[in-house]
Copies of this chain bind each other. A is one copy, B any other.
Amino acid sequence: MNTQDLLDQIAFIKEIDKVKYIQRKTKLFNSDRCENDAEHSWHLALMAIVLSGHSNEPIDILKVVKMVLIHDIVEIDAGDVFIYDTAKNHCNTDEERIAANRIFGLLPKIQAKELIAIWEEFEAGETNEAKFAKSMDRLEPLLQNTSNNGGTWKEFGVNYDKVYEKKSVIKEGSKSIWNYAEGLIKESVEKGILKK
């Protein structure tokens, strides 16, 4: 690695600080405070590490960790879209792809290419690693909303069918985690914090 590489990497490191300002709709556990994308990504990385043994298929855990650490960086330019917002497209938009090219493009070429490819792989959701990473991304807000007496489900009037549909992606990454998640969803209906 030469000096120019280091300067490019430092420029990227400074740029991604902006991820700490991107507010998600979901609140922290047992809390009224919105989570930001950096906190969310940190949590997903540790979830992936401790839950990797539940993956349906063998996975390269380093790649999964990279995926979840970088998956929301494009929101610096493209913004956060609420998962239950029906008016907006959620993934692989042109806006996000332009953002990925600009932000990862600050890095030396080989690294930029690697991280763009990992981000694209996550978005496509077809490999074992992407499926497991996506299951983490769906599990965290489920745990948060159940800890917050319904959280964003109540706040934005999201019903059981929508939640069940979005969360069932967890199954693609881990059947055992989906089994647990399905139980949480049913329990939420019984408690009246999620409406059928």
Kindly state the separation between the CA atoms of A148 and B49 in the bound complex, as whole angstroms. 34
CB of A123, distance to nearest CB on chain B (Å): 18
CB of A147, distance to nearest CB on chain B (Å): 7
Interface size class of A (residues with CB under 8 A): 35 or more
Give 1 or 0 for each of A1-44: 1 = CB within 8 Å of chain B CB: 10101100110111011011100000011000001101101110
| Residue A180, interface by CB 8 Å | yes
Question: Secondary structure of the A side of the interface?
Answer: helix
- Chain A contacts with B in 47-101, Cβ cutoff 8 A: 47, 49-51, 53-54, 61-62, 65-66, 69-70
With A38-B39, A39-B36 already in contact, the answer to whether A107 and B50 are too (CB < 8 A) is yes
| Residue A116, interface by CB 8 Å | no
Chain B residues with Cβ below 8 Å from A51 are: 6, 9, 13
* Structural contact, B69 and A6, CB atoms closer than 8 A: no
* Structural contact, B46 and A14, CB atoms closer than 8 A: no
With A28-B20, A50-B111, A61-B62 already in contact, the answer to whether A180 and B41 are too (CB < 8 A) is no
| Residue A176, interface by CB 8 Å | yes
CB-nearest residue of chain B relative to A42?
B42
* Structural contact, A29 and B17, CB atoms closer than 8 A: yes
CB of A72, distance to nearest CB on chain B (Å): 10
| Residue A143, interface by CB 8 Å | yes
A residues in contact (CB < 8 Å) with B: 1, 3, 5-6, 9-10, 12-14, 16-17, 19-21, 28-29, 35-36, 38-39, 41-43, 45-47, 49-51, 53-54, 61-62, 65-66, 69-70, 107, 111, 143, 147, 176-177, 180
7 contacts between A and B (CB under 8 A): A10-B180, A16-B43, A17-B29, A45-B65, A46-B69, A49-B66, A49-B69
